Amino acid sequence: MSENPVSLMDQLDHVVALALDLRKVLQEQKEVLKESGFRLPPGTTTALQEIADQVDRVESQIEPLEHERDQYRALAHVAALINSSLDLTQVLNEVMDTIIDLTGAERGYLILRDDDTGDMDLRIGRNVDRETIASEGFEISRSIVDRVAASGEAIVTTNAQEDSRFSDAMSIVSYNLRSILCVPLTLKGEVTGVIYTDNKIHAGLFTEATRDLLLAFANQAAVAIDNARLFSRVTASLEAISEMKNLQDNVFASMASGVITTDDREQVTLINRRALQILDLETHDHIVGSDLRAVLPLLGSRFDSMVSQVLEADQHLTAAEFDTSLARRGSVNLSMNISPLKDAYENTQGVAIVLDDLTEIKRREAQMAGVRRYLPSEVVDEIRSPEELKLGGTRKVISILFADIRGFTTFSEQLGPEKLVEIVNAYMTIASDAIHGQQGVIDKFLGDAVMALYNTPLRPQEDHALRAVRSAWGILSEIQNHHSNQPESDHLRFGVGIHTGDAVVGNIGSTERLDYTAMGDAVNLAKRLQEAAMPMQILLSEATYQAVRDHVSVKELEPIQVRGRTQLTSVYELLEV
C-alpha cells in the first residue's frame, strides 16, 4: 500500500482531463476523418463535454464529503492519541490542538468543572499556532459557556455580533467575537466541562456539521480527560501514601522506645531501629515475617500468656518487666507495653509491643540504693551520674549550721537509754524538719548535735546564708512550741552557730567508705560559734551577718576569742528574721 495514496478528488480530476483531451483530439481530427470517409457519431464531442461537466459536478459534491472523511479520520487518530496518555496536561493540550485543527477556529478553550466547588474553571487555552494562551489573554463569552454547561446542549452561532440570543452579552461585544462554537463534555449523563472555540475575523465559520463533529470528539475527549484526572488523583494519593509511609518510617526510626508489631499469627510485621539496638540485632531484613519468639530473647511462659491475653481478650498490658539475657550484652531488664493492633474497623490484626531498656536505670538504682546508706538522701537525689560519687571535693562559698543540745550530759544521767533516745529523736526531728524546709543538706548527726550545709555543689543556692538563718530560727521556734506540750523535766535547749565562707565540699574518705561533708576553716568557725552560744541562742559570724543584714534583726556582741584563732571574732546574736 502506498504511503501517499491518490485521493478520489485527484482521480476525478484525472478523468476530467482525459475527457477534455479526447474531445480536443476528436475535434482536431474531425476534418481528416471526413476526407477519409469516416464520420463521428453525432454528439460525440458534446457527450465528452457533458462527461467532463458531470464529473465536475460529482467532484463538487464529493469534496465536502472527502473533507468530512478527513476530519473523522483525524478525529479517530487523535482520539487514539489522547487515550494513549494518562498525563492530564498532555491530554488537555492534545484535545485543544485537535479541536482547532478540526474546526478551523482561531482559538480554543477547555473549561472543566471543579470536583469540589462545582464551578466551571478555565483549564487551558490554545491558539491556531499551537501556543498556550496566558490566563490574562482569556477572552470568552461567559454567558455561552454557562448556558452550555447548564443545558448540556451545544451552541453554534455564525455571527455572534448579530445573533439576537446574545444581544445582552457584553463579552461578545467587547471582545468583538463572531463565529462561536461551544459544546459540552458529557460523561455518564453529567456535564463535566465545556469546549469553547471562536474566531474574531470570519463569520459563518462553524456549521452544524462542524458542531456534530466536535460533539463526537467531545464525547471521546470527556472519557480521556476523566481517565487522566482519575490517574492524576490516584498518583497524588499514592504520593501522599508514600510520603505518609516515609514519615511513619522516620517516626518509628526516631523513637526512643523500641516498637515491634505482629499479625494475628504472631509473625513480625515491623521492627524499628531502637528495638534492634535494645535486642542487639544487626539487621531487620530476616526478622520481618519471622515468628515473634525467634526475635525476642527467652522470656518464658509469662510473656506467652500476656500475648495470648492481648489477642484474645483485647486487653492492654503496661509496664511488664522481664529480666533476661542477651548473647553479647549479658543480663538485661526490659519493660514492655503490649497492646492489640487494630485496623480502621477496630478489628484486632495482631499485637504492638513498645519496648524499653531499663538495664542502665536498674543498675543506677542499685548503685543509688547503696549510696543512700552513707550519703544524705537529699544529696543522693541530686546525683545525676556515678561519676559524681568519686573521691574529691569542690571549693566554694557555703553556709554551715551547727546546732547542739545544751546540758545534754547532765540530762542523760537522769534517764534510761530508751527514754533518752525517744526525747533526743524528737528534738533531732525538729532540727531536721527546719533544715530540710530550707533545702539544707544534713551533713551528719554528732550525738546530740547536727551539722547542716547550704549551697553544696549538688544543690546550689544563691541565698544560702539566709536559708541557714531561717533554719536556725525555725529550730528554736519549733522547740518553744514543743516545750508547751512537754513536762519541764523533758525540756532540752539548743545553741546554734552559723558561718559563711570557703570550704571544700564533696566525698571524703576511701573507695570503700565515703562521707559527703565539708572541710575547712569555715566549718571550724561555725562549730566554735555553736560552742559559744548560750541555750536557745543563735550566733552569726560577720560574713553571715553581712549576707543577711537586710532580712534580720541582730544584737552585736563583744568579739570573742575562739579556739584556734589568734584574732578576736565578731559575733552577732540573731533576734528576729
Mean per-residue pLDDT, 308-326: 87
According to the model, what pLDDT value does residue 68 have?
65
According to the model, what pLDDT value does residue 264 have?
87
Q: What is the model's pTM? A: 0.43
Asked if pLDDT for residue 213 goes beyond 90, the answer is no
Rounded Cα–Cα distance for residues 408 and 419 (Å): 13
Most confident range (mean pLDDT) of 353-357, 376-380, 536-540 is 536-540
Most confident range (mean pLDDT) of 7-21, 131-145, 312-326, 538-552 is 538-552
Asked if pLDDT for residue 373 goes beyond 60, the answer is no
Most confident range (mean pLDDT) of 109-118, 315-324, 521-530 is 521-530
Which band of pLDDT confidence, cut at 50, 70 and 90, is reported for residue 2? very low
DSSP for 181-243? Answer: EEEEEEETTEEEEEEEEEESS-SS---HHHHHHHHHHHHHHHHHHHHHHHHHHHHHHHHHHHH
Q: 71-80, 94-103, 150-159 — which is least confidently predicted?
A: 71-80
Instruction: Tell me the per-residue pLDDT of 62-79, one tens digit each, with 9 for 90 and over.
Output: 666 666 666 666 666 656
3-state DSSP call for residue 248?
helix
Mean pLDDT of the chain: 80
Q: Which residue has the higher pLDDT, 24 or 408?
A: 408
Q: Which residue has the higher pLDDT, 552 or 130?
A: 552
> What is the C-alpha radius of gyration for the chain, rounded to an integer number of angstroms?
53
Q: For residue 88, give the H/E element and its range.
A: helix 88-103
Q: Based on the number of CB atoms within 10 Å of its own CB, is 80 exposed (0-12), middle (13-18) or buried (19 or more)? A: exposed
Instruction: Tell me the per-residue pLDDT of 410-468, one tens digit each, with 9 for 90 and over.
Output: 787 778 888 888 888 899 999 999 998 998 988 888 878 999 999 988 788 999 999 99
According to the model, what pLDDT value does residue 531 have?
92
Q: Which residue has the higher pLDDT, 470 or 506?
A: 470
Mean per-residue pLDDT, 363-367: 73
Output the nine-digit C-alpha cell for 196: 469553547
pLDDT cut 90: percent of the chain above it: 20
Asked if pLDDT for residue 559 goes beyond 80, the answer is yes
Which band of pLDDT confidence, cut at 50, 70 and 90, is reported for residue 374? very low
Which band of pLDDT confidence, cut at 50, 70 and 90, is reported for residue 547? very high
Asked if pLDDT for residue 546 goes beyond 90, the answer is yes
According to the model, what pLDDT value does residue 503 have?
93
Asked if pLDDT for residue 57 goes beyond 80, the answer is no
According to the model, what pLDDT value does residue 229 have?
78
pLDDT cut 70: percent of the chain above it: 73
Asked if pLDDT for residue 545 goes beyond 90, the answer is yes
Instruction: Tell me the per-residue pLDDT of 485-497, one tens digit each, with 9 for 90 and over.
Output: 888 888 889 999 9
Q: Based on the number of CB atoms within 10 Å of its own CB, is 331 exposed (0-12), middle (13-18) or buried (19 or more)? A: exposed
Asked if pLDDT for residue 306 goes beyond 70, the answer is yes
Mean per-residue pLDDT, 276-291: 81
Q: Which residue has the higher pLDDT, 460 or 84?
A: 460
Which band of pLDDT confidence, cut at 50, 70 and 90, is reported for residue 3? very low
Angle formed at CA 566 by CA 562 and CA 572, multiple of 5 degrees:
40
Instruction: Tell me the per-residue pLDDT of 176-210, one tens digit each, with 9 for 90 and over.
Output: 677 888 889 888 888 888 888 887 777 777 878 77
Asked if pLDDT for residue 89 goes beyond 80, the answer is no
Mean per-residue pLDDT, 20-49: 62
Determine contact, residues 380/367, Cβ cutoff 8 Å. Answer: no
Starting at the edge strand found earlier in the chain, the sheet holding 348-357 runs 268-271, 258-262, 348-357, 330-342, 317-326
According to the model, what pLDDT value does residue 205 have?
75
According to the model, what pLDDT value does residue 37 have?
62
Asked if pLDDT for residue 390 goes beyond 60, the answer is no
- How crowded is the C-beta side of 73, counted as CA atoms within 13 Å? 6
Q: Which residue has the higher pLDDT, 382 or 365?
A: 365
In eight-state DSSP terms, residue 489 is: G
Instruction: Tell me the per-residue pLDDT of 336-348, one tens digit each, with 9 for 90 and over.
Output: 999 998 887 888 8
Q: Which residue has the higher pLDDT, 358 or 34?
A: 358
